[in-house]
Homo-oligomer: A and B are copies of this chain.
């Protein structure tokens, strides 16, 4: 189906912010005027604005108006946001990202994997260790576990490109969400060998569960990032 009305409105207002048609720190037209301009109801305008609030682009104050938020300097300098489940390839473009498959096994899950993927000891999982390189420089060492029955027919070609685009586009599965836990860790032998980390370097580790829209856990993974080239960014808006 086509673009929803509130998505259309949000997109157009987002464009105006990018074009500086609505400059930083300025006030934008009131909701009734916007409703007339876009030919939709005020509730639909509100819905679109709520989305932009959560994206951090605007903020509203009851009795006052809706304003464009200025740029966040820290965000401007962020190298690559480590959030979202789009995978590195989509974030940085598939041309810059390459993968070295260190290991790709099928095995029965250990207790941690059983618990995090909500599966039985007899349900086999993929056990995949990949080094992801950006512009041929080691970037992150990803250890991924996925139930075999959810993700059939993994090929070497897929592993060298993007698992996520395979899951999304070929298998037609939709991601519902993720829970992540970020740690600082000491470097292991693998980190030294694969990431070219020094043995005294800290490692930024992201442990995550990703599940599908139907609530089924689909991936449990541990990503070990070089501390000097990667950080994780979070925008946390205090909204309903």
Contact = CB atoms under 8 A, between A and B. Distances in A.
Given A83-B234, A215-B59, A202 B184 contact: yes
Contacts of A84: 236
B179 A204 contact: no
Given A74-B116, A74-B209, A181-B78, A200 B200 contact: yes
A193 to B, nearest CB: 18
Given A214-B61, A234-B83, A185 B182 contact: no
Given A59-B213, A184-B185, A227-B185, A234 B234 contact: yes
A75 B202 contact: no
B215 A186 contact: no
A174 B62 CA distance: 14
B176 A237 contact: yes
A183 B207 contact: no
A51 B50 CA distance: 13
A103 interface: no
A83 B236 contact: yes
B215 A181 contact: no
B177 A227 contact: no
Contacts of A178: 234-236
Contacts of A185: 184, 202, 227
A9 to B, nearest CB: 13
In this complex, the member of A78, A176, A182, A207 whose beta carbon has the largest number of chain B beta carbons within 10 angstroms is A182
19 contacts: A59-B214, A61-B213, A67-B215, A72-B209, A74-B181, A74-B207, A175-B238, A177-B237, A179-B233, A179-B234, A182-B234, A183-B231, A184-B203, A184-B205, A186-B200, A186-B202, A186-B227, A200-B200, A202-B202
